[in-house]
Amino acid sequence: MVAKAINGNSQTLMLELKTKIYLTLGAVILLAAGVLVFSRAASFSPAPEFSLTRNDQAVALPAELTAGWQTYQSSDFTWQIKHPADWQVLALAGANNQTVFVAPDAAGKLVEVLTVKAYPKTADLKQFTQPLLHLVEENRLNLRGLPVLEKVYYGPGPDGQMLQQRWYIISGKNYLYVLNGAWCDGEMSKGCEGVLGGFGEGK
Protein backbone atom coordinates (compact mmCIF):
# COMPACT_ATOMS: atom_id res chain seq x y z
CA MET A 1 0.00 0.00 0.00
CA VAL A 2 2.86 2.33 0.90
CA ALA A 3 4.55 1.58 -2.44
CA LYS A 4 1.33 2.32 -4.32
CA ALA A 5 0.93 5.62 -2.48
CA ILE A 6 4.51 6.58 -3.27
CA ASN A 7 4.02 5.67 -6.93
CA GLY A 8 0.78 7.65 -7.02
CA ASN A 9 2.43 10.68 -5.49
CA SER A 10 5.35 10.40 -7.90
CA GLN A 11 3.03 10.28 -10.89
CA THR A 12 1.12 13.31 -9.58
CA LEU A 13 4.35 15.25 -9.06
CA MET A 14 5.58 14.31 -12.55
CA LEU A 15 2.27 15.41 -14.08
CA GLU A 16 2.41 18.72 -12.23
CA LEU A 17 6.04 19.23 -13.30
CA LYS A 18 5.23 18.51 -16.95
CA THR A 19 2.29 20.91 -16.82
CA LYS A 20 4.49 23.67 -15.43
CA ILE A 21 7.13 23.01 -18.08
CA TYR A 22 4.55 23.16 -20.90
CA LEU A 23 3.01 26.35 -19.51
CA THR A 24 6.44 27.95 -19.18
CA LEU A 25 7.42 26.97 -22.72
CA GLY A 26 4.10 28.29 -24.05
CA ALA A 27 4.61 31.61 -22.28
CA VAL A 28 8.15 31.90 -23.67
CA ILE A 29 6.95 31.16 -27.21
CA LEU A 30 4.14 33.71 -26.97
CA LEU A 31 6.52 36.31 -25.56
CA ALA A 32 9.06 35.68 -28.31
CA ALA A 33 6.37 35.95 -30.99
CA GLY A 34 5.13 39.19 -29.47
CA VAL A 35 8.64 40.65 -29.40
CA LEU A 36 9.16 39.62 -33.04
CA VAL A 37 5.92 41.21 -34.23
CA PHE A 38 6.57 44.36 -32.20
CA SER A 39 10.11 44.66 -33.51
CA ARG A 40 8.93 44.30 -37.10
CA ALA A 41 6.10 46.76 -36.63
CA ALA A 42 8.35 49.20 -34.78
CA SER A 43 10.86 49.10 -37.65
CA PHE A 44 8.25 50.57 -39.99
CA SER A 45 8.70 54.26 -40.66
CA PRO A 46 5.84 56.65 -39.77
CA ALA A 47 3.11 57.25 -42.34
CA PRO A 48 4.72 59.56 -44.91
CA GLU A 49 3.44 62.95 -45.91
CA PHE A 50 2.29 63.46 -49.49
CA SER A 51 5.26 63.91 -51.81
CA LEU A 52 5.21 63.14 -55.52
CA THR A 53 6.75 64.51 -58.71
CA ARG A 54 5.87 63.75 -62.34
CA ASN A 55 8.55 64.35 -64.96
CA ASP A 56 10.43 66.48 -62.38
CA GLN A 57 7.35 68.63 -61.70
CA ALA A 58 5.73 68.60 -58.26
CA VAL A 59 2.23 67.08 -58.21
CA ALA A 60 -0.22 69.42 -56.48
CA LEU A 61 -2.93 67.86 -54.34
CA PRO A 62 -5.61 69.71 -52.33
CA ALA A 63 -5.02 69.11 -48.62
CA GLU A 64 -8.74 68.61 -48.02
CA LEU A 65 -8.77 65.65 -50.41
CA THR A 66 -6.85 63.45 -47.97
CA ALA A 67 -8.29 64.90 -44.74
CA GLY A 68 -9.41 62.14 -42.38
CA TRP A 69 -7.68 59.39 -44.35
CA GLN A 70 -6.41 56.32 -42.51
CA THR A 71 -3.15 54.41 -42.82
CA TYR A 72 -3.08 50.72 -43.75
CA GLN A 73 0.03 48.60 -43.16
CA SER A 74 0.47 45.29 -44.95
CA SER A 75 0.48 42.21 -42.74
CA ASP A 76 4.18 41.59 -43.43
CA PHE A 77 5.09 45.23 -42.73
CA THR A 78 6.63 45.73 -46.20
CA TRP A 79 4.43 48.63 -47.31
CA GLN A 80 1.70 51.03 -46.25
CA ILE A 81 -0.66 53.54 -47.86
CA LYS A 82 -3.14 56.18 -46.82
CA HIS A 83 -6.74 55.74 -47.97
CA PRO A 84 -10.26 57.14 -47.38
CA ALA A 85 -11.81 56.08 -44.08
CA ASP A 86 -14.70 54.16 -45.69
CA TRP A 87 -12.40 51.75 -47.51
CA GLN A 88 -12.26 48.13 -46.38
CA VAL A 89 -9.34 45.78 -46.89
CA LEU A 90 -9.36 42.27 -48.33
CA ALA A 91 -5.90 40.69 -47.97
CA LEU A 92 -5.76 37.73 -50.33
CA ALA A 93 -3.24 34.92 -50.03
CA GLY A 94 -1.23 34.35 -53.18
CA ALA A 95 2.15 34.54 -54.83
CA ASN A 96 1.99 38.33 -55.18
CA ASN A 97 0.57 39.24 -51.76
CA GLN A 98 -2.48 40.80 -53.38
CA THR A 99 -4.40 43.31 -51.28
CA VAL A 100 -7.77 44.56 -52.53
CA PHE A 101 -9.49 47.66 -51.20
CA VAL A 102 -13.27 47.95 -51.52
CA ALA A 103 -15.62 50.85 -50.81
CA PRO A 104 -19.39 51.47 -51.04
CA ASP A 105 -20.69 52.94 -54.29
CA ALA A 106 -23.64 55.35 -54.59
CA ALA A 107 -26.06 52.45 -54.01
CA GLY A 108 -24.14 51.22 -50.96
CA LYS A 109 -22.74 48.17 -52.74
CA LEU A 110 -19.11 47.32 -52.04
CA VAL A 111 -16.98 47.59 -55.17
CA GLU A 112 -13.28 47.13 -55.78
CA VAL A 113 -11.48 50.48 -55.87
CA LEU A 114 -7.78 49.63 -55.68
CA THR A 115 -5.49 46.62 -55.86
CA VAL A 116 -1.91 46.48 -54.60
CA LYS A 117 0.38 43.62 -55.60
CA ALA A 118 3.98 43.01 -54.54
CA TYR A 119 6.27 41.28 -57.04
CA PRO A 120 9.92 40.19 -56.75
CA LYS A 121 12.39 42.94 -57.58
CA THR A 122 13.58 40.89 -60.56
CA ALA A 123 10.12 40.79 -62.21
CA ASP A 124 9.94 41.91 -65.84
CA LEU A 125 8.19 45.30 -66.19
CA LYS A 126 6.77 44.20 -69.55
CA GLN A 127 4.31 41.85 -67.84
CA PHE A 128 2.51 44.76 -66.19
CA THR A 129 0.20 45.80 -68.99
CA GLN A 130 -3.48 46.17 -69.87
CA PRO A 131 -3.95 44.17 -73.10
CA LEU A 132 -7.56 45.29 -73.67
CA LEU A 133 -6.73 49.02 -73.90
CA HIS A 134 -4.20 51.15 -75.73
CA LEU A 135 -1.13 52.52 -73.96
CA VAL A 136 -1.32 56.26 -74.67
CA GLU A 137 1.11 57.73 -72.15
CA GLU A 138 4.02 56.83 -69.89
CA ASN A 139 5.40 59.10 -67.19
CA ARG A 140 8.32 58.88 -64.80
CA LEU A 141 7.40 59.75 -61.23
CA ASN A 142 9.47 60.07 -58.09
CA LEU A 143 8.04 59.09 -54.73
CA ARG A 144 10.48 60.24 -52.05
CA GLY A 145 13.38 58.70 -53.94
CA LEU A 146 11.48 55.65 -55.22
CA PRO A 147 11.14 55.51 -59.03
CA VAL A 148 7.54 55.08 -60.24
CA LEU A 149 6.39 54.25 -63.76
CA GLU A 150 2.93 55.60 -64.59
CA LYS A 151 1.12 53.92 -67.49
CA VAL A 152 -2.02 55.51 -68.90
CA TYR A 153 -4.36 53.34 -70.97
CA TYR A 154 -7.35 54.40 -73.05
CA GLY A 155 -9.96 52.57 -75.08
CA PRO A 156 -13.48 51.09 -75.14
CA GLY A 157 -14.58 49.07 -72.13
CA PRO A 158 -16.84 45.98 -72.07
CA ASP A 159 -19.95 48.16 -72.37
CA GLY A 160 -18.54 50.18 -75.26
CA GLN A 161 -17.86 53.30 -73.21
CA MET A 162 -14.39 54.82 -73.40
CA LEU A 163 -12.20 54.15 -70.39
CA GLN A 164 -9.00 55.65 -69.04
CA GLN A 165 -6.91 53.54 -66.68
CA ARG A 166 -3.72 54.38 -64.80
CA TRP A 167 -1.25 51.85 -63.52
CA TYR A 168 1.52 52.75 -61.08
CA ILE A 169 4.60 50.54 -60.79
CA ILE A 170 6.74 51.45 -57.78
CA SER A 171 10.33 50.21 -57.74
CA GLY A 172 10.93 49.60 -54.04
CA LYS A 173 14.05 48.40 -52.26
CA ASN A 174 12.96 44.76 -52.21
CA TYR A 175 9.79 44.55 -54.30
CA LEU A 176 7.97 45.98 -57.28
CA TYR A 177 4.56 47.27 -56.18
CA VAL A 178 1.77 47.58 -58.73
CA LEU A 179 -1.21 49.83 -57.92
CA ASN A 180 -4.26 49.93 -60.16
CA GLY A 181 -8.05 49.91 -59.91
CA ALA A 182 -11.20 51.98 -60.38
CA TRP A 183 -9.87 54.76 -58.17
CA CYS A 184 -7.05 55.31 -60.68
CA ASP A 185 -9.43 55.63 -63.65
CA GLY A 186 -10.76 58.75 -65.34
CA GLU A 187 -11.80 61.57 -63.02
CA MET A 188 -10.78 59.56 -59.93
CA SER A 189 -7.07 59.70 -60.86
CA LYS A 190 -6.42 62.72 -58.61
CA GLY A 191 -7.59 60.68 -55.62
CA CYS A 192 -5.36 57.83 -56.75
CA GLU A 193 -2.42 60.24 -56.75
CA GLY A 194 -3.29 60.93 -53.12
CA VAL A 195 -3.10 57.21 -52.33
CA LEU A 196 0.14 56.85 -54.27
CA GLY A 197 1.68 59.89 -52.59
CA GLY A 198 0.96 58.35 -49.19
CA PHE A 199 2.71 55.10 -50.06
CA GLY A 200 5.59 54.08 -47.82
CA GLU A 201 7.93 51.11 -47.69
CA GLY A 202 9.07 49.30 -44.55
CA LYS A 203 12.67 49.54 -43.42
Tell me how far CA of residue 127 lies from CA of 34, 76, 80, 124, in angstroms. 38, 24, 24, 6
Phi/psi-derived region of residue 198, left when phi > 0, alpha when psi is between -120 and 50, beta in every other case: alpha
Q: Are 27 and 92 in the same domain?
A: no
pLDDT at 55: 82
In terms of residue numbers, what domain contains 91? 53-201
Q: What pLDDT, on the 0 to 100 scale, is given for residue 6?
A: 45
Residues 69 and 99 in one domain: yes
Q: What is the CATH number of the domain that holds 136?
A: 3.40.1000.10
Is 113 in the same domain as 163? yes
For the whole model, what pTM was predicted? 0.71
Q: Given this model, what pLDDT does residue 60 score?
A: 76
* 60-108 per-position pLDDT tens digit: 777 778 888 898 988 777 888 889 999 998 877 565 678 899 988 888 8
Q: Quote the pLDDT of residue 94.
A: 61
More confident residue, 50 or 32: 50
48 vs 74 pLDDT, higher one: 74
